[in-house]
Structure formats: structure tokens, C-alpha cells
Amino acid sequence: MHSLTSQSQVAGSAPRLWPAVILAAGLLITAIAGGWEIHRVGQADEQRFHILTERLKGEVIRRVMIYRFGLMGVRSIFAGSESVERSEFRAAVLSRRLAEEFPGALGIGYIERVPRDRLEDFVAATRVDGAPDFKIRTAGDARELYVIKFIEPEDVNRPAIGYDIGSEERRRLAAEHAMLTGEATITAKINLVQATNGNVGFLFILPFYQRDLPVRTPDERQAALQGWVYMPLDGRRLFSNAAAVTNGELDFEVFDGSDPHLEDLIYDDDQHLVTTQGALDKNAFAGRERVTNIPIEIGGRRWTVVMSTTALFGRESRAPFWGIVICGMLLSTLAGLLARTQGLAMRRARALADRMTADVKRLALVAERTNNAVTITDADRKIVWVNRGFTRLTGYTLEEVVGKSPGKLLQCEKTDSKTIEIMHNDLGAGRGVRVEVLNRAKDGREYIVDLDIQPLTDEAGKVTGYVSVVSDVTESKRAANALREARDAAEAATRTKSEFLANMSHEIRTPMTAILGYADLLADEWQGGLTQRQRIEYLDTIKRNGEHLLAIINDILDISKIETGKMAVESIEMQPMQIVQDVVSLMLVKARDKGLYLQVIQESAVPATILSDPVRMRQVLMNLVGNAVKFTESGGVRILVRYENEPGSGGAAPMLCFAIVDTGIGITAEQQARLFSPFEQADASTTRRFGGTGLGLRISKKLAEMLGGDIAVTSEVGKGSTFTFSLRAPMPANAEMLHVENGTHVVTPDKAENDRRPMLRGVRILLAEDGDDNRMLIAHHLRAAGAMVTAVENGRLAVEALTLDGSVDGELAPAWRFDLIITDMQMPEMDGYAATRLLRAKGYTGVIIALTAHAMAGDAEKCIAAGCNSYMSKPIDRGVLIETCAEELRRHTAGV
């Protein structure tokens, strides 16, 4: 300024001063330009620092919120199920790509609130559910424990399983805050129990409540709480490389709380605070050009993020200043540098905007790609945006629903009005609401959703809109209902079978009581006092009750074979009217004892021979005719027989039909509905009055169906019943027809006494039976029939009795010592199967008859396959024993 005080001095010194003036002017311009550039760079750096801190802040929040969305997805597992088992939780969690989707999470777990008085039950139930070594680690005596029940992957999180987070203050406070607010909550900084690298972290906890309880107030939420889903987050893994969004120009540290303290440090990006000693002060950030503390409210916690510049910050922005200093007063160069600087600033701002836009798009992509339906409405609850999940669920596109009310669009007349009222009340009060609602899709399909609606507010707290997340729980509801119905059906079946077993126990014990009681009376005969007539009556009683007991056992075995599909029927030539005559012969004595008539009425010509199973046909007729006689007190029983063979019946097989008509007590309609049900009887009082197991009709109906026919019943109480029994009856070639004059034939058979002449006189029989009582009884029957019996205790002795040297390995004697061998199939040392196979291998071709206590399908085939000629099941009937032996000897002699 002194150069301008005197014009003459300036004029006089002008030639010398030009360089100085130019230099001074250049210096002045340089100083002005440098000062302006310094000021501009400072502002640009301040603005860039603000942009970078906001970007880094957004990245920190975004990284944490990813785990909140993940927890909401895990919570949907529990929303769609009454209870979640360990295997179901594991499958759901491990189906996610945890390392890619949630790199900061050590796992995903479930915490259950357990009252202390239910602790033992909880541990027992958890061990049954696939965790036999489960135990709880807790401290203190709190009334409730918050126990980590599941966490996956389990192998790296095993130290956390069973830990009571309620016994540690920081974890407990976060869990209770989440419970009372209903919001995802972050714990204070903690040392993770499963961390092996010494890293610190925190838990991210999200509560879920019982669906059928209100959660509008903290007290209601506390009462409705079912548990929490949570993620243990490792701070180092969570925020690793987060500063990359600033291109390395910023460093940051995350502290728990409002004031940064070393003990509250969660994450240090460049680890420069590791060597810091003592209190945290400005010296800890010495050399950093800019440092700022940014508070973040997230998950119910306040964090402080300390952001500071690195050596990379501002490096490019300072280049123009040094260019000005070096290049001097080259305004063109300065203008170019300024233009270049401005261009760089604009490109940086544009790149920053693009990156921020990309962040927003990534968040939008999460909402767009989720399986749940997401809806955003304005403050008037009119739709402004829906995701693709909404379209998949409802069938409506975004264009079809914009501006419409979701409730009016989707709810229908079946939607619960109380639920709608709760939604309107809570949303009208600015509160969030979670309910289950029945909706109707565009195509008319009805479905059930778990609807979670939360208000969106501005900084002043005014509601600006609503966001809803909808999960389709229709299938889970249906599965739960189906499971409940199946459980009810299983329980009903169990009750029915239990009642059946109780009745069978009574039916079996009743004849056993008589058998044992009269056996004791006969055993006491040495004391005297019994007449011959009494002894015969006692023996008849024992025999009659034994036969009754055998019939009960046969019924139980038959129903067992029928229920398991092991009952088989034959198709051989048989004489149906002869079987009818046999049945009538057996039933005639009982009918006459009750003063009843028993008639057979042949209504049409009947084939003399048909192809069917005579044993099963006789069994069905015996049951039906026996029931008719049993339940008839006066009048009688008629058996109507007809043969249906209609050529125009479309190729249907001919049927042999029976109608058993009685004048008995009759059956009510309700009883008829249960008459053929498994494990049920028509009327317990009738059973107690007339006796019986109630299995006969069930067995008979199944046998009729297996024979190609059926059984039906019509009845009138007090007047009698008619049971119709039909079976397929194809005729063999050249079969004749039996015609009856006048269409009626009355059968009154007179069954002759059994021929009791010795049928086995002189027959040499070898008997192998390990049971002393059975061996003695069978040998007695055979000797009474004239046979010469040699009895041994097992198959080895039987083989030795037939060899030359009396050893099991010896050759067969050339002249067999026995005409027939009877062997039990279940014996010690060597059973009947092995003995039979060995004898056949040695060349024995005589008759071998099998004895076994087994009576199931396939036993006869097994015995025949071993080499036996015939088969008898225990208990052995004397007549059947003697007739079988005589018949097999006859067949062997004839070479059949």
C-alpha cells in the first residue's frame, strides 16, 4: 500500500520496479489465488468429509439392519408353527447361506423364556428333542431364565447352548427391552461365549409373541412373549471393510454408548487404538486432519461412531494449490486447474450420488426379492407400493392396487370382524399391529396370513405412512389342523383298541377260570366224594371251555391276519350244499336245545360243485348261523340259498347267495352302523348277556370280501334280523346243478357218531416234542388209536433214532424203524426244520408231519418247504391228529 502513497515515486522508479511490480503483482495474484484456493479446498474438504461420514454412517446402519431383516425371516418359522423342533429349526437356518448373507453373525439362535419351576420339564423336553447332553448354565435365582435352546450352526456355537442370558445383566436388559417394546434390540458390548479369537461383539435380539394374545402394551407383550430369535454378532466381522465405501479416505471406530471410552470399543477399523493406554483423548487421534463423533440410534442402543481422515483424504484436492504455487501467475493454467478441480468435484459428487442410489436400490432389492409380501401405504392407508411377493400371494399387480385400501381389496365376508376392529383401532392410534387375517386373492382363493403393520413417522413423530410385511401361513395352518385331526383319530383308535383288549382279557380269563377251577377239583379227587357222573361233567366243562378259549384265540389270530393283510383264501373244487349240511348238523343240537327250528330253503338250482375256499365259507356260515341261533329265543332260523348267474349281467361272475333269517332280538340302526367295525361290538350289554368276543362278524365280512362277495344286514328290533352273505361261485367244467322240487328243502340231519375204531393199528410212529405235557398227551392219543409210539425230546434224537450207528452224522438204516415221523418245529439243540431237511438229505422218503404252535400266514408253506408232508397247528385235536396221520399214510402207500 505504501507504493500507492506517492505517484511521483512510483513514476520515477517504474522502470526498475516493473519486475518488482510484476513480481509483486504476481505474488499478490498468487497470494490471492493461493488464499482463495486454500479456502476453497477447505470448504471442499469439509463438504467431502461430511459426505463421506454420511456414507460411512449409512453403511454401518445398513450392515446392522441386514441382520434385523434376517431375524424377521427366522421369526416367521415360529409364526407358522405351533412348536418348532430342533431338526426343523436346523433345516430352516442351514438352508440360508449364512457366510454370504450374514457374514458378521456367528449363528442364528432361539432363546426361550423358562419359569424356574418348569426348568426340569424344559430340560427333559429339550433332551428328547435331539439334544441328549443339554444342560443349563445360569447364575442367581431369578424367577425366569432366558435360555439359549437352539443355535445353528451348532458346532461353532456349542458353548452358547443352554446359557441363561438372563443371568448376565447386559444380555438380560436387552432381552427385556425387546420384550417390552416388541422391537429388535442390541445388547451392550459383551464378550461372546462362543468367540475363540477374543473378539468382542453383541447380540441382536428380536422377540416374538403368542399369536392369540394381544401385544399392544408392554404388559401385554410381557405376558404374550414366547421367546426371542437372535444373532451373536462379531464386531470385527460385522464392520470389516466397511470403510471401503470411502475409498480408504476415512477410518472409523464404533463405541457402545454416547461417550467414547476404550472399554466400550466395539470395532477399530485400523486397530490404532490397540496400543492406546489410559483415557481416550485427542492424542489418540493425533495426525488426523478431521475427526468427528456421530451418534447412531439403532436396536434400542446409542452407538458413537468416531470417524477420522486418513492420509489419503484430500490428497487430490490439494494438487491445484501446489500447481498454482509452482506455475505462478499462469492464469490460463490456473483457470484450467480450477476447471479441472471443479470437474473432479462434480464427478466425485455424481459418483457419491450413484453409490448412495445403489445402496438404496440394494435395500429395495431385499424387499423386492423376499418371499413375504411387502406393502407401503400413505397416511390414509392407500397403497403406494407393493413388491413381487404381494403379486405372487394376491394375484394383483402394482398398477392394479395403487391408491386402493388393502383391507377393502383383500378382506372378505369370512374375515374376522374383531380382528379388523383391532387393526383399525391400533393403526388409528399410530401403533403397530400384528394379527392373523383371512384374505381372498384375485382368483377367489382364500388364504391366511400373518400380517405385521408398522407406522412410518417423520422427525416430528407424525405418521406419514405404513409398511406391512405379510407371511402366508395357510399351509402351516392346514398342516397343524391335519396333525390335530390325525392325533384325535389316533387317540380314538387307541381308546377303541384298549377297550377291545380289556374285553378280550375278560373273554380269555372266563374260560381259563373254569378250566383251572375244574382241573383243581379233579386234582383233589383223592380226597373222595366225586361220582363218575361228576367227573364226566367236570371233564366236559374243561373240554368245552378249552374249545371256547381256542375259538377266541383263533378269532384274535384271524383278525390280526386280516388287519395286517396276511389272510389268504384258496380256490378249489368244493360242494357248497354239503358245507351247508355240515353247518346245520353242527348247529342243530343247539337249536333243538333252545326249541328252535333250523331250515335250509333252496330257492334256485345250485351247482353241485363250485370253485372257492370251503374252509372260509364254512367259517362264515358257522358264524352267521351260530349268531342267529344264539340271539334267537323263540321261533327259529332259516337259511335261504340261491345261485345267481345272469348271462346279461355284463360279464359279472356268478354268485352264490345265502340269507340267514332269524326271529331273534334284532339290531338297532345305530348298532348296525358299528356292527362290522374293527375292535368294536354292537352292544356291550348284549355281549355280557350272550357272550362272545364281537370279532366274528368283522372276520366274516372281511372273508366274504376276500371270497369276492360281501355281507349285509337288515333288522328290526324285536322281530329279528336277516344277514345276506354272497361269494363268487364260478363252476368247474362239467359241474352239475342240484334242482329242488317246489323250491324248498328242509334239512334235518342226523349226524352219526364218530367211528372210534383204532385207525393206526400197528403203525410205528416216531414223535419228537420238547414239551413234556404235549409229548405225553400226543403219544397217548396215538397209542389209543393203535399206534406204536417212540417219543424223543428234540430233532437230534429223532435223527439219531433213524441212523445205523445212532449218531446224527451216520447213514440211515436200510430198513426204516418207523412208518411215520411227527416233529415239533420249535425245539432246542435241533429244531424240526433242521431235522427234516437233514433226514431228506440223507434220503428219507417216509411221511413227516409238522407240529407248531404258530398259526400265522406262511407257517404251513415254511414247513412244506423244509420237506414235511403235512402240517398241524397246536392245540392238537385228537380226531384231526389221528385222521391226518391215517390220511398221510394212505397217500404215501398209494404213491400220491
Q: Of 374-388, 545-559, 589-603, give the lowest mean pLDDT range.
A: 545-559
Length reported for the chain: 896
Per DSSP, helices labelled H in 231-385 are 235-239, 319-327, 331-369
Which pLDDT belongs to residue 338?
A: 62
Residue of higher predicted confidence among 96 and 179: 179
Residue 536, CB-side half-sphere exposure with 13 Å CA sphere: 3
Residue of higher predicted confidence among 650 and 525: 525
Q: Are 656 and 726 in contact (CB under 8 A)?
A: yes
Grid cell locating 798: 429223532
With 0-12 CB in 10 A as exposed, 13-18 as middle and 19+ as buried, what is 394? buried
**Strand segments (E) across 628-787:** 636-644, 655-662, 710-716, 720-728, 737-738, 764-768
Summarize the confidence of residues 349-360 as an average pLDDT.
62
Residue of higher predicted confidence among 541 and 811: 811
Which pLDDT belongs to residue 248?
A: 85
Would the pLDDT of 185 be above 90?
yes
CA gap 55, 97 in Å, rounded: 27
- Given its phi and psi angles, is residue 329 left (phi above 0), alpha (psi -120 to 50 degrees) or beta? alpha
Query: Which among 721, 722, 726 has a CA at the least distance from the CA of 711?
Result: 726
User: pLDDT exceeding 70 applies to what percent of the chain?
Assistant: 79
CB under 8 Å to 95, separation ≥6 — which residues?
none
Which pLDDT belongs to residue 41?
A: 75
Count other Cβ atoms within 10 Å, centred on residue 730: 16
Cα 256 to its chain centre, rounded Å, is 44
Would the pLDDT of 164 be above 50?
yes
Grid cell locating 61: 446402519
Which of helix, strand or coil describes residue 725? strand
Which pLDDT belongs to residue 13?
A: 47
Residue of higher predicted confidence among 845 and 325: 845
Summarize the confidence of residues 845-857 as an average pLDDT.
79
Residue of higher predicted confidence among 229 and 511: 229
Query: Which among 144, 123, 126 has a CA at the least distance from the CA of 225?
Result: 144
Would the pLDDT of 170 be above 50?
yes
Which pLDDT belongs to residue 45?
A: 82
CA dist 613 to 555, 556, 725, Å? Answer: 18, 20, 14
Query: Which among 113, 395, 63 has a CA at the least distance from the CA of 231?
Result: 63
Would the pLDDT of 618 be above 70?
yes
Partners of 468 in beta bridges: 375, 453
**pLDDT tens figures, 672-690:** 777 776 555 545 444 444 4
Which pLDDT belongs to residue 660?
A: 95
Would the pLDDT of 536 be above 80?
no
Summarize the confidence of residues 226-230 as an average pLDDT.
93
Which pLDDT belongs to residue 885?
A: 94
- DSSP for 246-287 reads GTTSEEEEEEESSS--GGGEEEESS-TTTT--SS--GGGGTT
**pLDDT tens figures, 368-383:** 667 788 889 998 889 9
Q: Residue 187 has what DSSP assignment?
A: P
Would the pLDDT of 116 be above 70?
yes
Q: Of 241-255, 455-469, 690-704, 870-884, give the lowest mean pLDDT range.
A: 690-704
Which pLDDT belongs to residue 6?
A: 47
Query: Which among 103, 104, 79, 472 has a CA at the least distance from the CA of 92?
Result: 79
**pLDDT tens figures, 20-61:** 777 677 677 767 766 776 767 777 788 888 898 899 889 899
Would the pLDDT of 542 be above 50?
yes
Summarize the confidence of residues 102-115 as an average pLDDT.
91
CA gap 797, 829 in Å, rounded: 9
Q: Model confidence at 343, in pLDDT bands (50, 70, 90)? A: low
Query: Which among 767, 776, 762 has a CA at the least distance from the CA of 850?
Result: 767
Summarize the confidence of residues 520-544 as an average pLDDT.
70
E strand or H helix at 45? helix 14-79
CA gap 80, 77 in Å, rounded: 6
End-to-end CA distance of the chain: 149
Would the pLDDT of 891 be above 50?
yes
Which pLDDT belongs to residue 316?
A: 66
CA dist 94 to 98, 103, 825, Å? Answer: 8, 14, 55
CA gap 577, 606 in Å, rounded: 8
Q: Model confidence at 259, in pLDDT bands (50, 70, 90)? A: confident
Summarize the confidence of residues 557-575 as an average pLDDT.
77
Q: Are 856 and 561 in contact (CB under 8 A)?
A: yes
Which pLDDT belongs to residue 689?
A: 45
Would the pLDDT of 17 be above 70?
no
Phi, psi of 421, rounded to the nearest 5 degrees = -65, -40
Cα 266 to its chain centre, rounded Å, is 43
Would the pLDDT of 535 be above 80?
no
Residue 174, CB-side half-sphere exposure with 13 Å CA sphere: 27
Q: Model confidence at 15, in pLDDT bands (50, 70, 90)? A: low
Q: Are 355 and 335 in contact (CB under 8 A)?
A: no
Q: What share of the chain is helix, strand, coil (3-state, %, to 5)?
A: 50, 20, 30
Q: Are 610 and 648 in contact (CB under 8 A)?
A: no
Grid cell locating 739: 334242482
Query: Which among 186, 316, 362 has a CA at the least distance from the CA of 257?
Result: 186
∠ Cα 572 573 577 (to 5°)? 125
Which pLDDT belongs to residue 667?
A: 86
Would the pLDDT of 650 be above 50?
no
**pLDDT tens figures, 387-407:** 888 888 888 998 988 999 888
Grid cell locating 398: 402394482
Phi, psi of 801, rounded to the nearest 5 degrees = -70, -10
- Which of the given ranges, 334-343, 407-416, 683-692, 852-861, has the highest pLDDT on average? 407-416
Q: Are 315 and 200 in contact (CB under 8 A)?
A: no
Q: For residue 333, give the amino acid letter.
A: T
* Beta pairing, strands 446-457 & 433-440: antiparallel
Grid cell locating 264: 466400550
**pLDDT tens figures, 747-758:** 443 333 344 446
Count other Cβ atoms within 10 Å, centred on residue 462: 11
Partners of 440 in beta bridges: 446
Which pLDDT belongs to residue 866?
A: 94
Cα 80 to its chain centre, rounded Å, is 14
* Beta pairing, strands 655-662 & 720-728: antiparallel
Residue of higher predicted confidence among 697 and 747: 697
Find cell 349285509 and name the residue. Answer: 712
Count other Cβ atoms within 10 Å, centred on residue 861: 11
**pLDDT tens figures, 501-523:** 666 665 676 677 667 766 766 77
* Beta pairing, strands 655-662 & 636-644: antiparallel
Residue of higher predicted confidence among 691 and 156: 156
User: pLDDT exceeding 90 applies to what percent of the chain?
Assistant: 29
Domains within the chain, CATH numbers bracketed: 64-245 (3.30.450.350), 370-472 (3.30.450.20), 479-559 (1.10.287.130), 569-743 (3.30.565.10), 764-894 (3.40.50.2300)
Per-residue burial over 141-151, b = 16 or more CB atoms within 10 Å of its CB, e = otherwise? eeebbbbbbbb
Q: Model confidence at 229, in pLDDT bands (50, 70, 90)? A: very high
CA dist 215 to 223, 431, 675, Å? Answer: 8, 11, 52
Which of helix, strand or coil describes residue 418? helix
- Is the pTM above the cut of 0.75? no
Residue of higher predicted confidence among 850 and 238: 850
Which of helix, strand or coil describes residue 800? helix
Would the pLDDT of 800 be above 90?
yes
CA gap 217, 665 in Å, rounded: 67
**pLDDT tens figures, 703-738:** 999 999 999 999 889 889 999 999 999 999 888 888
Summarize the confidence of residues 125-143 as an average pLDDT.
89
Q: Are 417 and 411 in contact (CB under 8 A)?
A: no
CA gap 116, 144 in Å, rounded: 5
Query: Which among 280, 54, 258, 55 has a CA at the least distance from the CA of 272?
Result: 280
